[in-house]
Structure 1
Amino acid sequence: MPDLLIELLSEEIPARMQARAAEDLRRLVTDGLVEAGLPYAHAQAFATPRRLALAVEGLAPRSRPRREERRGPSTTAPEAAIQGFLRATGLTLDRLERRADRKGETFFAVLEHPGREAPEIVAEVLERAIRTFPWPRSMRWGTGDLRWVRPLHSILCLLSDEGGAQVVPLSVDGLAAGATTRGHRVHAPAPFAVSGFEDYERRLGQARVVLRPAERAARIRHDAAQLAFARGLEVVEDEPLLAEIAGLVEWPVTLMGPVEEDFLHLPPEVLQTSMREHQKFLSLRNPATGRIEGFVTVANLEAADGGAAILAGNRRVLRARLSDAAFFWDNDLRTARAGMAEWREGLRAVTFHNRLGSQRDRVGRIAALAREIAPAVGADPDLAAQAAEVAKLDLRSQMVGEFPELQGRMGRHYARAAGLPEAVAAAAEEHYAPLGPSDTVPTAPVSVAVALADRIDTLAGFWAIDEKPTGSRDPFALRRAALGVIRLVLANGLRLPLAPVLAAHGPRLGAAGEAFDAAARADLLAFLHDRLKVHLRERGIPHDVIDACLATPGADDLARLVRRAEALAAVLSAPEGADLVRLYKRAANILEQAEAQDGVEYSFGADPKWADHESERILFAALDAAEPAVRSALEAEDFAGATAALARLRGPLDGFFEAVQVNTDNAVIRRNRLNLLSRIRALALGLADLGRIEGGRSESGQAA
């Protein structure tokens, strides 16, 4: 079976587009081959700055013949309909079949499609892939109408097997497919022919082109580490930057240079960000001091002077860039040491939302909220409020204006420069965390208070103006804010009932706060509960267990809610737990039907003296023992103990249902048994609404 090799050689492809482009080439070609009836064994795609390549192994030599039947119009249909069907199928009337059905006779066309040779199919599929390639941006050049990300220079398309290789006949916009490619633009620009993928990759290597992106990245990583180690430094890990650099070069040559002494006083993150954003340099850190003292740049060629001229040019540009950073840093430090009043006032000119005021208004709300919730998180209220007041001030700094990704980190530096307590400085950076599901959650009390206040204000504000997420639309990242609240609460084990917090925060929202009424607050809590379900489902807790626990009072205390759900989930994971749910549902259904039928609520008066069967007396005794144990455990918030105590009713309750008929003809005994079941229902509802647990068997009012 033949193998297929495709290469599309062009001018430089932007690094950020290469991985997606390689995958798109693989998808378009392999999907097209399969749709045309040409299966294959394996395919892999590659990208360098100048080329996309695809290797397909085990391709079928030709497609299989296939038979197709098409239903046409009725034999009595108008002539125009019949002629249209003939044109669509390419047949004549005498070649159509007449078949009887319930409505009479219908024309059918039977089309025989012979198998097609692989070269014909490959040419058709590849041309379509090239002409419809989904580049984010593309261009035309010359006089043709082909669009590509950059001018396309050549197409290599080979089918090879044991008998040799053949070029697939193909021409796209004047570019005829061939068996040749080119190597490195400087080191090996001459064309050369290849005979298959292994020969292609080997000869590219000889022509100073590393085809595989992962191999280029690994080479850069290794060489950079070796250069750094020789100088007693270490490479600052930055995988996204490494992947981007690997997309900028076909033949990576690492070069190392120092950061000049004039700039070593800059914070490490400033140096690293400036070098990464402006010049795609990897940073080198002194492990003894934590300072960034060097850089690694990656050239795309082996220079005769060992890269000295390249380094010299890079150092000149770096000096200019770092001079700008030093200017911003020095100016910002002067403002910080003066108390940051200029930045504080500047926040008034920054609109947070036209219905929620300025950033200065928002900072005031966050500070008041942080002060309020500080005791619940173990923070000093004054420090929490102070931290909230300064947490956003670095947004007005020149450094963050140049590098927005440094917000928070620069805030910590400026707070320290202003002489503020370390807890306040730390909160300026840490209150932004967690940013995502895998991000670290802050644990310092002041940082936690400000982080929670920030997110709660965001959620309350946008709920007040009815700007809630809808479907996949979430322009204000409110789902992320909700997940942040959940992770902050759970990771720190915080006992923070949210309902009173939200109620107290409404008036701080000004005019918008009038709409943040009880209904809006309940809707926001429901949104938080929905995000909590998603979060806990990843931890193995089913959504119906959360629903069962949400039916209990105090569900706005997320930490307590989760502990309750974890305890219930642990019991329900065992067969005994499933039996308990089944029996509870049976008892609850019997009660509901009886109460609906009789028009009364059975909730008082169960008395063991009216028990006329041993199973009833056993259940009474078990319930008398379980009630104080469950309630005592619930008061102590020992949800595992409460669940275990409730689970001990399973045996007696099962025996009761096996032995007696609840809805007996004796009215006194019936009422007593219903009130007994009501005690069980009330006791269980103190832990969770087990009726919301999915599965189990829902019983009617009679028991054997």
Structure 2
Amino acid sequence: MKTNDLLIELGTEELPPKALKSLSEAFTQAWIQQLEQARLSAERVQSFASPRRLAVLIEGVQTAQADEVVEKRGPAVQAAFDADGKPTKAALGWARGLGIDISEAQRLSTDKGEWLLHEAKVPGKSLTDLLQGMLDASVKQIPVPKAMRWGSGDYQFIRPLHRLTVLLGQEIIPATLFGVQSSNKVTGHRFHHPTDVTLSHAKDYAQALRDAYVIADFAERKAMIEQSVVNLAESENGIPVWDDALVEEVASLVEYPVALVAGFDEAFLSVPKEALIYTMKDDQRYFPLVDTQNNLLPRFIFISNIQSLDPVQVVSGNEKVIRPRLADAQFFFETDKKQTLASRIAKLDSVLFQKELGSTGDKARRIATNARKIAELLGVDASAAERAGLLAKADLVSNMVMEFPEVQGIMGMHYARHDGEPEVVAQAIEAHYRPRFAGDELPVSSEGCAVALADKLDTLVGIFAIGQTPKGDRDPFGLRRAAIGMLRILVEKELPLDLNKLVEIAVASYGEIVKSPELVQTQVVDFLLGRFRPWYQDQHIPVDVIQAVLARRPTVALDFDRRVKAVAEFRAHPQSEALAAANKRVSNILAKADTVNHQINESLLQEDAEHALFKGLTGIEAQVEDATNEGDYQAAMEALATLREPIDAFFENVMVNADDDAVRNNRLAMLHALRNQFLRIADISLLQN
């Protein structure tokens, strides 16, 4: 089968930088899907994306479909011919519809009889004939959250299309998209190569653009940025402050990355570094530099989209841009310091938290009360937790946070330190938002954990109380994130707190606002327990393991975690499948029993298998009880696993429903005792294995 290289490029106006990577991935995946649907194989599909283009290069693609043989089954032979062997109307109509004579029909024998059959050869279509449909379908698969219109037509796409490049080897394949005709031309760099680039072959795409100052491969461009930033940072004896999202965004803004280093006045270093870093990273897409002690340096790296003949001017321009932003941050910080955090609390009463739940001031007072109670449960500094809870939201009305909302909590910490608040209070103020996102760090101190839990609980209980629970993908108050954050704190910080008690504290703090306290209590606890499932699934723990523990509804998150890990370990045990099946059998037997005694009468045991199971059960009972009381569920499961052989022997040799009522009830009592030992940890009858 003949193959060639196929290039498709959509040349557009500047694409949204935060979406460029996902747009490229969607476009590439759409073409892979189109090739599969068209029955066209390819050696490799390579994606390209830059601010003004989305492209795929499909190497070694079949230039035509293989011919296909399609079976057309007709009527049964019995119905196709009459008693004289002449074809019936049904047979003749079938043959006529296929354009064949009835004599050309073959026979298909099956276990249900014999049928007429015609094998029709369908010639494969050429890639050239298929391409327009494939192009249209692939573009429709690109997720466009907000489409644009342009010109006088009705065309809609994420950005206006200016060029369409479609090349199969050296041949331009005729195609049209949004009124643009295909060609073999692509657009070079806007400044370094403003004229079109004519491609002689699809495989020349990347190099031809490179010669025109465009690094079309997104991954290559991103790697270039990372390496150049690291190299420049080393030359400045600094370490770049970055994250993958920032590098990807910068890579989506430039086609020919050139890294340069610039600086700012050291006087700005009097401002907390977090505010300066935010300004440089989020406002300007710069890479700040810190030293080995994580102190901010008065230097930063930026990525230019041109290879300037006078880079000093480019550096100077960027320094001029950042200076007023840093000056604003300095002004806000110095102005804010003139007023204490505590004096700002009154202003929170004019900031709405939620119209039915009151102001942010009300919330701050509830957080303070609840943080104190949680700290008391933990046996840590309750006064510090209460103070931090009261001050936690005060920086929301500061000039700095109103200008840079992302530094809330962080500025509260710095202002608390400036006001002379204890360090434990200052740190807890910053920590109460943690974890802000998946993988974020948790509060360091127990007091910080108490305030963070109090804040998240207050939101959960309040929003549930007014019936604004998450529905589908909608979660405007971030309740799922808050719940996962709570569970992470409780589990990873090993805090032995009961969810029932925590929710009870938060419900009580709302007073009469919560109209149905018991209902809200149950709903919030159930919601928190329900968050364990997606959290553990992200850790690749099987769903049946989570369900087995959920069936027991342990409400101490740390205890829940230990059970899940023990059951997950047990599930991999070679004896788990048999024990899970036995538990399911025991559960079914007990469910059908009218009454079950809770006491086993050893004198009523008759069979050897009964005695063996009783001995095994009583032999591990104390061990299981001690292990579960200590939270060592893995040891408890290992002890229970030793019962596999006596359980198997019991079911093989003992008739549970004996004729003698006393014997039958005694056997049921033993199964009840067996079931209860396993239920100390989880309902392993739910394990699928």
TM class, shorter-chain normalised?
A: 0.7 to 0.9
Structure 2 letter corresponding to 1:8: L
1:511-660 aligned at under 5 Å gives the runs 511-517=512-518, 519-539=519-539, 541-550=541-550, 552=552, 555-593=554-592, 595-596=593-594, 600-604=595-599, 606-660=600-654
Residue 157 of structure 1 is matched in structure 2 by 166
Given the alignment of the two structures, is residue 694 of structure 1 paired with residue 687 of structure 2, yes or no? yes
Could you tell me how far 1:416 is from its partner in structure 2?
A: 0.9
Q: Deviations over 1:394-417 (max 9, x none)?
A: 111111111211112212111111
Structure 2 letter corresponding to 1:536: Y
- State the SS of the aligned residue for 1:2: strand
Say which of 102, 115, 120 aligns to 2:129: 120
Could you tell me how far 1:386 is from its partner in structure 2?
A: 0.7
Could you tell me how far 1:68 is from its partner in structure 2?
A: 7.8
Could you tell me how far 1:640 is from its partner in structure 2?
A: 3.6
Q: Deviations over 1:453-508 (max 9, x none)?
A: 11122221122222222233322221111111111111111111222332343232
Could you tell me how far 1:344 is from its partner in structure 2?
A: 0.8
Structure 2 letter corresponding to 1:438: G
**Relative to 1, partners in 2 of residues 1:5 and 1:647: Cα closer, same or farther, differing over 3 Å?**
closer
> For 2:536 and 2:158, how far apart are their aligned partners in 1?
44
Could you tell me how far 1:360 is from its partner in structure 2?
A: 1.0
- State the SS of the aligned residue for 1:187: coil
Residue 498 of structure 2 is matched in structure 1 by 497
> For 1:10 and 1:589, how far apart are their aligned partners in 2?
65
1:448-527 aligned at under 5 Å gives the runs 448-517=449-518, 519-527=519-527
> For 1:150 and 1:126, how far apart are their aligned partners in 2?
17
Q: Deviations over 1:174-228 (max 9, x none)?
A: 6443223342222222334222244232222222221112222222222333333
Given the alignment of the two structures, is residue 349 of structure 1 paired with residue 342 of structure 2, yes or no? no
**Relative to 1, partners in 2 of residues 1:310 and 1:510: Cα closer, same or farther, differing over 3 Å?**
same
Given the alignment of the two structures, is residue 422 of structure 1 paired with residue 431 of structure 2, yes or no? no
**Relative to 1, partners in 2 of residues 1:268 and 1:70: Cα closer, same or farther, differing over 3 Å?**
farther
Residue 173 of structure 2 is matched in structure 1 by 168
> Would the aligned equivalents of 2:206 and 2:217 in 1 still touch at CA under 8 Å?
no
> Would the aligned equivalents of 1:6 and 1:53 in 2 still touch at CA under 8 Å?
yes
Identify which range, 199-208 or 172-181, moves more after superposition: 172-181
**Relative to 1, partners in 2 of residues 1:395 and 1:181: Cα closer, same or farther, differing over 3 Å?**
same
Could you tell me how far 1:533 is from its partner in structure 2?
A: 3.0
Could you tell me how far 1:121 is from its partner in structure 2?
A: 2.7
Q: Identity over the aligned pairs, expressed in percent?
A: 35
Could you tell me how far 1:665 is from its partner in structure 2?
A: 3.2
Could you tell me how far 1:149 is from its partner in structure 2?
A: 4.6
Structure 2 letter corresponding to 1:533: R
> For 1:436 and 1:455, how far apart are their aligned partners in 2?
13
Structure 1 letter corresponding to 2:522: A
**Relative to 1, partners in 2 of residues 1:129 and 1:662: Cα closer, same or farther, differing over 3 Å?**
closer
Residue 297 of structure 1 is matched in structure 2 by 302
> For 1:582 and 1:115, how far apart are their aligned partners in 2?
53
> Would the aligned equivalents of 1:8 and 1:53 in 2 still touch at CA under 8 Å?
yes
> For 1:438 and 1:229, how far apart are their aligned partners in 2?
28
Residue 92 of structure 2 is matched in structure 1 by none
Structure 2 letter corresponding to 1:16: K
Could you tell me how far 1:666 is from its partner in structure 2?
A: 3.6
Identify which range, 147-156 or 260-269, moves more after superposition: 147-156
> Would the aligned equivalents of 1:272 and 1:292 in 2 still touch at CA under 8 Å?
no
Number of matched pairs: 653
**Relative to 1, partners in 2 of residues 1:178 and 1:673: Cα closer, same or farther, differing over 3 Å?**
closer
Structure 2 letter corresponding to 1:398: N
Say which of 247, 251, 260 aligns to 1:242: 247
> Would the aligned equivalents of 1:33 and 1:122 in 2 still touch at CA under 8 Å?
no
> Would the aligned equivalents of 1:33 and 1:121 in 2 still touch at CA under 8 Å?
no
**Relative to 1, partners in 2 of residues 1:199 and 1:572: Cα closer, same or farther, differing over 3 Å?**
closer
> For 2:416 and 2:470, how far apart are their aligned partners in 1?
35
User: Structure 1, unaligned stretches of length 5 or more?
Assistant: 72-91, 100-108, 697-704
> For 2:608 and 2:36, how far apart are their aligned partners in 1?
72
Could you tell me how far 1:374 is from its partner in structure 2?
A: 0.7
Could you tell me how far 1:449 is from its partner in structure 2?
A: 0.6
Q: Deviations over 1:221-261 (max 9, x none)?
A: 22333333223223222332222222222222222111113
1:87-486 aligned at under 5 Å gives the runs 114-126=123-135, 135-160=144-169, 165-171=170-176, 175-287=180-292, 290-305=295-310, 307-335=311-339, 338-341=340-343, 343-486=344-487
Could you tell me how far 1:561 is from its partner in structure 2?
A: 3.0
Could you tell me how far 1:33 is from its partner in structure 2?
A: 5.0
Residue 15 of structure 1 is matched in structure 2 by 17
Residue 52 of structure 1 is matched in structure 2 by 54
Structure 2 letter corresponding to 1:238: D
> Would the aligned equivalents of 2:166 and 2:182 in 1 still touch at CA under 8 Å?
yes
- State the SS of the aligned residue for 1:185: coil
- State the SS of the aligned residue for 1:493: coil
> Would the aligned equivalents of 2:544 and 2:688 in 1 still touch at CA under 8 Å?
no
- State the SS of the aligned residue for 1:63: coil
Structure 1 letter corresponding to 2:131: V
TM-score calculated relative to the size of structure 1? 0.84
- State the SS of the aligned residue for 1:334: coil
Q: Deviations over 1:532-580 (max 9, x none)?
A: 233334445544444444555x821222233234334434432334434
Identify which range, 403-412 or 116-125, moves more after superposition: 116-125
Q: Deviations over 1:426-462 (max 9, x none)?
A: 1111121123332222231111111111112222112
Residue 665 of structure 1 is matched in structure 2 by 659
Could you tell me how far 1:28 is from its partner in structure 2?
A: 4.5
Residue 86 of structure 1 is matched in structure 2 by none
Structure 2 letter corresponding to 1:693: L
- State the SS of the aligned residue for 1:177: strand
Could you tell me how far 1:66 is from its partner in structure 2?
A: 5.7
**Relative to 1, partners in 2 of residues 1:321 and 1:632: Cα closer, same or farther, differing over 3 Å?**
closer
Identify which range, 498-507 or 394-403, moves more after superposition: 498-507
> Would the aligned equivalents of 1:268 and 1:292 in 2 still touch at CA under 8 Å?
no
- State the SS of the aligned residue for 2:270: coil
> Would the aligned equivalents of 1:430 and 1:451 in 2 still touch at CA under 8 Å?
yes
> Would the aligned equivalents of 2:43 and 2:60 in 1 still touch at CA under 8 Å?
yes
> For 2:67 and 2:356, how far apart are their aligned partners in 1?
67
TM-score calculated relative to the size of structure 2? 0.85
User: Structure 2, unaligned stretches of length 5 or more?
Assistant: 74-95, 106-117
> Would the aligned equivalents of 2:187 and 2:196 in 1 still touch at CA under 8 Å?
yes
Say which of 34, 37, 43 aligns to 1:41: 43
Identify which range, 258-267 or 529-538, moves more after superposition: 529-538
> For 2:53 and 2:588, how far apart are their aligned partners in 1?
69
**Relative to 1, partners in 2 of residues 1:664 and 1:412: Cα closer, same or farther, differing over 3 Å?**
same
> Would the aligned equivalents of 1:223 and 1:254 in 2 still touch at CA under 8 Å?
yes
Could you tell me how far 1:329 is from its partner in structure 2?
A: 1.2
- State the SS of the aligned residue for 1:154: strand
